[in-house]
Structure 1
């Protein structure tokens, strides 16, 4: 080896080895200190990814176990309440048997009746006080069915309008991810994790699209035939789209969309950026669309400029939209809680901004609509200057019959026109409307001036949105409301009429019940600084009520890591009226009566047919049935908890196999790395000493 001074290649070589050994020693020290063989993604990308997913699963399972425990505790509270009711009913039967005995006089029975009445009150007290975390459990809120009083249409009009299209059938065809063109009518199932575009070929009618499970799919787009006449059915779709593209898009005229089951379309993660001149409607009506069905369509969208159901931004269209039936929950913001600075310019049902739509006709259905900003919930979008100058209306006529609509809006009307825009005539007949136009947290101040002053509840409840400076009302439509129950309110617009600094034409109200109010405008007529034509009001009959059964909402005990993994627990009403199957206090008093021997015997059953249960036995069996049902829920939750515990243990064990360190092995590796590092350090010192020997030559 040459004796050099300027460079020391031996020391450099040894230094490199020392650095490697020190780095390896640091990794081994980290593994020993953490007790894990995978500390970071660099220790094994695949294993790290699997382990992280397992840890998420472990935490989810741990929460599911807690959920089952709290759910079981909640049901045990209900069980205790029902047991108390059963005890009271047993004692009431004993009192009735006593009262039926002729050893008692009527005076004695009157005394027994007092105790009997107190037992009834005690049962209702148990119902009123049996709660878990403030949730009343025995009042029927979580029963399978509720009995509700609803208003008959005064005209008796309740016919369901339908196109009569036939649901597609046949052997389902499963589609894998990718773009597909459907050329044959039938049923198509979107496979697990499906993403892609589905195009229905021209001339094809009769396609049903569903999915293989309830897991949410991403970026799915359904495109109808360009020739129109589509007969599209959807059932059980759960889609979350992130791009500016319609989820369902029609072309041509005479299209029909039929809804079955529960369907969810989520555009909440889409945020406009850059140019939004072509923002697409979530469901585009094409040249004309009819929507109907027995199912539910739930949609949420942060598309600011297009409609949710209607037309795109910048789409000038006279296509008609008809909705015959179905249930619709439509949220035109990213949430219903925090809408600060969230101003939607496209209607929820209607036209996109800088665009238009034809007539909107609703012949039935239930609607729950929430939107914030400049557009109407049902009607036209926010207007813009070129539309104003050209006299272009944002939409045609709005006709609503036999519908139940709840709508919340801000600057635009709940039903009618958006800010600075127009709509045709508004006709509402035989319907129940709850329209609330209010300030939706638009209170950002700049130099003391509210952000977007034309919002803060400035549209009418039913009528026009705020601001129509350029018009004397000639472009406004008439408002006709007949035979309906109307609850409509506004902050600065009219309850029914014009919005703030806006105009409405003639208003006719006939045979309407409910409540129509405005804080700063007229209840019926002009909004603040607004205008209106003639107003004609006649007839306020009492609504005709009848009973109907509506589906109840169960207690949902979430027991899995997916949205649909839950146990639904139903608990019927255990109040005295429900126990004795009566509707009024008077009926209950007449039935729960032991003041005479005959009335006491009537509570116990039939004198001629021993097989006929009396009201008391029916009440006891009713309560016992609920107790056994609650008991079965508790047993199921116990089994679910056991299963979840086993899953948690096994998943934890599996994750441990991947991630946890074999301490003996890791200590061996650590010792090895430590020795190598020390050896390299010693050799580096020796290599540095080698160069000093050159100095002896210079003496």
Structure 2
């Protein structure tokens, strides 16, 4: 072995070995102490990057799991509240069932009041950390009425909309043994079904009708429209027209896209959110909102929220249901309103109303009894939705809107009528003087071809001195009208009939029908004499003029037309029998109509008009009030059904949250296992390695010590 005074090669080699062993030992000790083989990016860049991403996902899932646990508690709280409310309603149903002879209604009413208080208490108390899914409004410790939470690490959201199962939300406000429901006579016919497309049943709660106290979040104004869609029109044109009218936009603005979402041609929709139950809430530019959903039969339901309080709670809304009836097309129509098709149509309409919380029953005479949701019993109507109408300008001047014998003439647009589709002209004559029906009678007489026609001052019967025609004595009809036959004097040939009747407002109505039933003229004498005592100062804006226009509006409404007056004194008239090109305002002179201002076409409206085109026997279009224990029971049963559906929805959401919790936990466990597989150390192997490296370190230290002793050996060569 050579010795050098410049280099200690052995010591250098020993030191290098010691350094490497020490580094390996440090790394192994770190691995053993942390239990991980990959602690930093320098250990294994690829594995470290993958593990970090997986660890971040685990952290996100931890947050998701916390949110789901919170949501589960909110839903559990709501479920507990619903259970209490359901029990209270079942008890209430039993209480009402004891309404037998000898049981005082005041006793039952006291029990009802206490039960409603317990329902409100359960609903308002069902909150968890400021979230209440049952109260229907914020305030009193409730900050949120809906629930949203992340479902996964990607940020997908679970949303549960809230409900209103307070006594007001369940339509139990002012519930008593004396409360009223609506009795709507659908009528009977041997030739036509009960419903045609665009027929609609319209209802208002007492707040909307102006008889239910101050409108508020606790007492909202609600209008319901159930539109018969007998053609299977998936575009839901009429329903969306009603929605557009509710939010103040034009018919045709809202459409359903290929994706099933609402589209707005005027860009009135700012954004939308989809809840986990499939309902979609649209935020509008004017601050309103629309909720799009489906009922249990798959009918499209649109709720237009158009007024809110300072807390953002809804105070006014319209609920429009597009009732699908296309499935009845294959059923028999034999028997008209008693046919299989008609009966099924009524059943579908009834079910749609029940899904909105109404109690509905149908008797053998085709009468519907409707109760619930605090409806105004006499505000229920059946009519037609019209997507266009005629707009007449009443002008702005120093004169009042109507002078005597002014008339609004409405045509149905038929030029050559048939017996099934006659040409119809309706004249609504303003009688501002309160005189007899001279003008109306003269007009109907001239229309029938008579040189004169008048009223007998004693009997009130129609009479004529015309020698060309013979007018028969009047015969009283089942509906209370008087019918006269008109024949030629020479040959006795039938020329037509004249009907004398009154409308629901007491106005005299005269109708001439041609012998072949292809043409009909209806003349209504509107008594406006009660407006003459009002001030005429201001012309068309005066109290007198306003009252005259209101009288005209009421009469048009009573005769089945939809009417709206704008701020510029333009009167819009809609209905299935309105044609703008044959509608105008003018004056009757000597029994002849002299056209004044013609109307303009208005396709920007979607208006309800009471009544339907072909009225069945007994059909009036307006409901009457009915009372009795059966009505009260129907209201309670409807509330029970609403609570049951709410409980079903909450239960479904609870199951969904539970499944998501399980999935999240499983995924988190899988990711944790994956991270361990990528980064965890084999401690048995690392322990053996640690022992080996410790031994090697000791040997390296000893070798370095020996190598360092070479200097002493070199010096010994030079000693004497």
Normalising TM by the smaller chain, what interval?
A: 0.3 to 0.5
- Give TM-score, length-normalised by structure 1: 0.38
The structure where helix makes up a greater share of residues is 2
Larger radius of gyration: 2
- Give TM-score, length-normalised by structure 2: 0.37
